[in-house]
Structure 1
Amino acid sequence: MIVDAPPIPRPRSGRHRSARLGTALCWLAVAPPALWAALRLIGLDRGPLVQALAFTPYVAGFSVLALSLALALRRWWPAALAAVAAVALLGVVIPRALASSQPAAGGPTVRLLTANLLAGAGDARTLVELVRRYEVDVLTVQEFTPDAQVALDRFGLDRLLPHRQLNAEAGASGSGLYSRWPLSDVGVRHSRNGWRFTQAYGTVAVPGAGPVRVESAHPAAPSAVDQVGAWHADLKAQPPATPDGGLRILAGDFNATLDHSPLRALLNTGYVDAADAAGAGLTGTWGPYDGDLIPPVTIDHVLVDRRIAVRSVKVLALPGSDHRPVLTTLTHPHPHPHP
């Protein structure tokens, strides 16, 4: 009797190849957000990483997709690394979308608007209309030119905000501070690095709340690797908060997001990012908005003394500019402890 021998099993090369491919795909998807999370937590703002870190919120979203892929393919080691990266990235990003508790400030309400005019190209009529519509009390402008100064007054800004400290210059270096109330101790800060931006400042006499120092902030832009040193220096040179002294507000185009360590170091002196406090910290303020595929990032900020309560933040639109104005409603302490 002849008995057939059992068939010799053949290696399932196709299935094994597919498994290896799936594992490789998982590692390729997981590695970038994991590396990004490490760089963000370390605070490694150097060279081309400065520009890259501005897009951390988008990488945080991608980290969730990478984790989902690893879990769906049951690749547990990549999934573990993806989970750590997702938790780290989401942990620094999600709080910006959640409003935080505010100090019990009982003083007057102040509405502050900041706008980058793109070398004076921002539409003056629209900006004045925003000041009028939202009853703005204080306005800071960057990239402020002589032509922009004339146009703003032509549309009535001189009647709405008659007190001002202005440094209009051709190009992108000019700066301005407008106020409904009188200004004192005014001046202009000159950057010694990079782009030579200027920053107008003054002390605003807020009725019922005492004085508050307001400055139109505009540090250098890290537009190229050789500008990163100037960017670091300009952010480090910004006036720190004075938690044991008078109130300060910095408002403008910081050319930095909350994922950049120099801006976080400035906040740690005693400021609060108003958009972050109001739960609007993920709204992009710079596109560019000219059809490029670069997604918006949040580089325009209003930094306020921690004793000031942030009631709301609204990101508006300004035709002609690649930045979006930021409107902040604040409640000041009353009475101010250091007049």
Structure 2
Amino acid sequence: MRAVVWVFVVPFAVWAALRVSGVAPVFRWVQVVAFTPYAALAAVIPLVLAGALRRWVAAGVALVSAVALGVAVLPRFFGDGNPEAGGMALRVLSANLEVGSADVAELEAMVRRLRPDVLTLQELTPEAVARLAGVRRLLPYVVDRSTPGASGSGIFSRFPLSEGPMIEVGFRQARAVLRPPGGSAVEVMSVHPCAPHFSFGAACWAQGLRALPRAGGMPRVLAGDFNATLDHAPLRELLAGGYRDAADVTGQGLTATWPTHGWGALPGVTIDHVLADSRIAIRSYGVQTLTGTDHRPVFAELRLP
């Protein structure tokens, strides 16, 4: 019976140790660690089992594991404060179009309803750009880095844009400075690092995330499909570099964005984000729905410093 208890305890202890340390021993861990919120919930099972069987050493290990996982996950349920920010409001919408297959009429209706100032798109194909004429009438300034397949991206804006140097590490991550009339300039990026499906993809994914600019200087907003949750070390490093996650700040850090319909009883994971410079106030955040894509768009209302 003692061995059976440890069979339950050890996997959660290893999970907690890897999550806290940020170590990724094999590339598959990049995928597995995204499920840490579910592991945190299930971590009470070995704790209860070890306690019921009076295996106190095992219970102690299980308790430490459960606390470590809980500390990593639970703050996402609670909102944070905001810095003093007296600049203009900025409404940001981001959507992954799943290789251009999303319903563009529905996306246009979403733009009309939410009235974003800037829209970042991922998996933007030239064919999809041609079908986005209605969106372009609403958001006429465009940085188009579309390409066939899943690696294209773009930025559509209500205000003039000056294109910046694209970050291309496997996928194309468009970048531009938005210049609202009478307001301060802000840099916006359409984020989409490689998907870590395979070992080479995991390396490309990490490189793509680490190539993103750290905060400082001009205020900056990174919005898109990061292919990463707050349990991935490269994303936590990016946040430590001076950003805040809009979902986390508003207490919605566990609202799943992919896949759209989850996996049965599991609602999915949170890999689409709006990250804002820590000087920017995050007023609201919400996850939307869009037919024809396996991602849920994300929308945030910000106020610039």
Task: Give 1:150 shift.
Answer: 1.8
1:6 alignment counterpart:
none
1:133-173 CA distances to partner (integer Å, 9 max, x unpaired)? 111111000000122112221xx212211111112211111
1:134 alignment counterpart:
114
Per the normalisation by structure 2, the TM-score is: 0.94
1:270 maps to amino acid: G
1:312 alignment counterpart:
284
Q: Which of 172, 190, 204 is residue 150 of structure 2 equivalent to?
A: 172
Q: Which of 151, 163, 166 is residue 141 of structure 2 equivalent to?
A: 163
1:174 maps to amino acid: G
1:166 maps to amino acid: D
Q: Which of 203, 206, 228 is residue 180 of structure 2 equivalent to?
A: 206
Instruction: For structure 1, list consecutive stretches of 5 or more residues without a partner in the other structure.
Output: 1-19, 334-339
1:183-204 CA distances to partner (integer Å, 9 max, x unpaired)? 12x0452524xxx311111111
Is 1:239 equivalent to 2:213 in the alignment? yes
1:172 maps to amino acid: A
Pick the structure with greater CA Rg. 1
Is 1:277 equivalent to 2:254 in the alignment? no
1:253 maps to amino acid: D
1:28-54 CA distances to partner (integer Å, 9 max, x unpaired)? 222111110000111012421111111
Is the 8 Å Cα contact of residues 66 and 82 (structure 1) preserved in structure 2? yes
1:149 maps to amino acid: V
1:229 maps to amino acid: A
2:81 maps to amino acid: S
1:214-272 CA distances to partner (integer Å, 9 max, x unpaired)? 01011111111232221221111111211xx1101111111111111111111111111
Is 1:36 equivalent to 2:36 in the alignment? no
CA distance in 1, matches of 2:20, 2:146: 39
Per the normalisation by structure 1, the TM-score is: 0.85
1:94 alignment counterpart:
74
Pairs aligned (count)? 304
* Secondary structure, counterpart of 1:67 in structure 2: helix
2:193 maps to amino acid: P
Task: Give 1:208 shift.
Answer: 4.7
1:71 maps to amino acid: G
* Secondary structure, counterpart of 1:191 in structure 2: strand
Structure 1 294/99 Cα, relative in aligned 2: closer, same or farther at 3 Å? closer
2:212 maps to amino acid: Q
Is the 8 Å Cα contact of residues 209 and 332 (structure 1) preserved in structure 2? no
Q: Which of 31, 44, 47 is residue 51 of structure 1 equivalent to?
A: 31
Comparing 70-79 and 247-256, the one that deviates more: 70-79
Task: Give 1:85 shift.
Answer: 0.5
1:3 alignment counterpart:
none
CA distance in 2, matches of 1:166, 1:293: 38
1:232 maps to amino acid: A
1:337 alignment counterpart:
none
Identity in percent: 50
* 1:285-304 equivalence runs, <5 A: 285-287=257-259, 289=261, 295-304=267-276
1:260 alignment counterpart:
232
Task: Give 1:69 shift.
Answer: 2.6
2:129 maps to amino acid: Q
1:98-152 CA distances to partner (integer Å, 9 max, x unpaired)? 1011111122221101100000011111111111111111100000012211222
Is the 8 Å Cα contact of residues 125 and 152 (structure 2) preserved in structure 1? yes
CA distance in 1, matches of 2:4, 2:282: 45
CA distance in 2, matches of 1:291, 1:94: 22
Is the 8 Å Cα contact of residues 260 and 296 (structure 2) preserved in structure 1? no
CA distance in 2, matches of 1:262, 1:47: 14
1:33-88 CA distances to partner (integer Å, 9 max, x unpaired)? 11100001110124211111111111011112322232333332221111100110
CA distance in 1, matches of 2:304, 2:256: 26
CA distance in 2, matches of 1:271, 1:129: 30
Is 1:324 equivalent to 2:304 in the alignment? no
Is the 8 Å Cα contact of residues 245 and 275 (structure 2) preserved in structure 1? yes
1:105 alignment counterpart:
85
Q: Which of 160, 178, 182 is residue 182 of structure 1 equivalent to?
A: 160
CA distance in 1, matches of 2:83, 2:249: 11
Q: Which of 49, 55, 65 is residue 45 of structure 2 equivalent to?
A: 65
CA distance in 1, matches of 2:266, 2:66: 23
Runs of 4 or more, structure 1, over 4 Å off, are 290-295
2:35 maps to amino acid: F
